[in-house]
């Protein structure tokens, strides 16, 4: 599968001399391709590490478990996925002697069984999953906020808020996982929207490089071809 990855540090974290709080990861094995993106909560001391841990855990779960073959209900997959990621965050926090809430993050992930062209997408918080097909950009799993705040992996209600969608991946499909910083830029910039629907990721990245953004901006796109 072809993939495109972009990530940059927003102005807020630059001014604080902090690194980007987003994490992006892609991995393949013999049958499965998996991608994950996570946005560490800015108010948490270890949000960046939490995002990295969440991505690694998501990829591990999606490549090691038969998510497509088992075809759990949306509710069960959401619960299993959330429990696995939360366990990994708890282990990281325990090892470092910190409260797990300091590692809070959002997550969006997708896994594709390449031989069968079957896929599953999962999202929590204000990260999102989009599909591009024939120059049409569709929101597969949209960003969610309650009272202006996203639900995070360490929240008690995370498994209830997590979105799941099974789908067939066509050859002409491109799936995009993105953080809320990218969604803001996409909403505000018509040139970015045009480049995206035309699958011109090189142009997208150039536009994002020149755009002013308070928040970190990250995405990963994978193609069905």
Q: In this predicted model, what pLDDT tens digit does every residue of 169-203 receive, in sequence order?
A: 999 999 999 999 999 999 999 999 999 999 999 99
Predicted local confidence at residue 139, as pLDDT: 94
Mean pLDDT of the chain: 94
Predicted local confidence at residue 68, as pLDDT: 87
CATH number of 177's domain: 3.60.40.10
Distance CA 183, CA 6 (A): 13
Altogether, the residues listed in the chain come to a count of 225
Helix axes 190-197, 201-210, angle to 10 degrees: 160
- Global pTM reads 0.94
Assess contact for 37 and 108: CB atoms under 8 A: yes
Q: Give the full edge-to-edge strand order of the sheet including 22-28.
A: 22-28, 32-39, 107-113, 118-124, 163-168
Predicted local confidence at residue 196, as pLDDT: 97
Domain span at 66:
3-223
Q: Is residue 162's pLDDT more than 90?
A: yes
Q: Give how many domains the chain has, as a whole number.
A: 1
pLDDT tens column, 29-66: 999 999 999 999 988 899 999 999 999 999 999 999 98
């Amino acid at each position: 599968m072809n993939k495109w990855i972009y990530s940059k540090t927003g102005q807020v974290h630059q001014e604080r001399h902090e690194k980007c709080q987003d994490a992006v990861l892609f991995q393949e094995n013999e049958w499965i391709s998996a991608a994950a993106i996570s946005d560490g909560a800015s108010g948490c001391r270890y949000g960046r590490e939490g995002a990295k841990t969440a991505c690694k855990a998501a990829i591990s779960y999606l490549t090691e478990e038969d998510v497509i073959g088992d075809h759990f209900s949306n509710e069960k997959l959401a619960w299993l996925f959330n429990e696995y990621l939360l366990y990994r965050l708890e282990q990281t926090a325990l090892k470092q002697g910190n409260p797990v809430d300091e590692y809070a993050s959002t997550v969006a992930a997708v896994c594709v069984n390449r031989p069968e062209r079957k896929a599953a997408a999962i999202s929590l918080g204000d990260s999102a999953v989009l599909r591009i097909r024939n120059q049409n950009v569709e929101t597969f799993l949209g960003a969610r906020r309650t009272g202006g705040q996203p639900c995070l992996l360490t929240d008690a209600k995370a498994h209830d808020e997590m979105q799941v969608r099974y789908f067939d991946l066509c050859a002409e499909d491109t799936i995009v996982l993105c953080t809320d910083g990218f969604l803001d830029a996409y909403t505000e910039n018509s040139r970015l929207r045009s480049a995206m629907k035309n699958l011109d990721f090189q142009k997208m990245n150039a536009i994002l490089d020149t755009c002013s953004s308070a928040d970190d901006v990250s995405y990963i796109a994978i193609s069905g071809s």
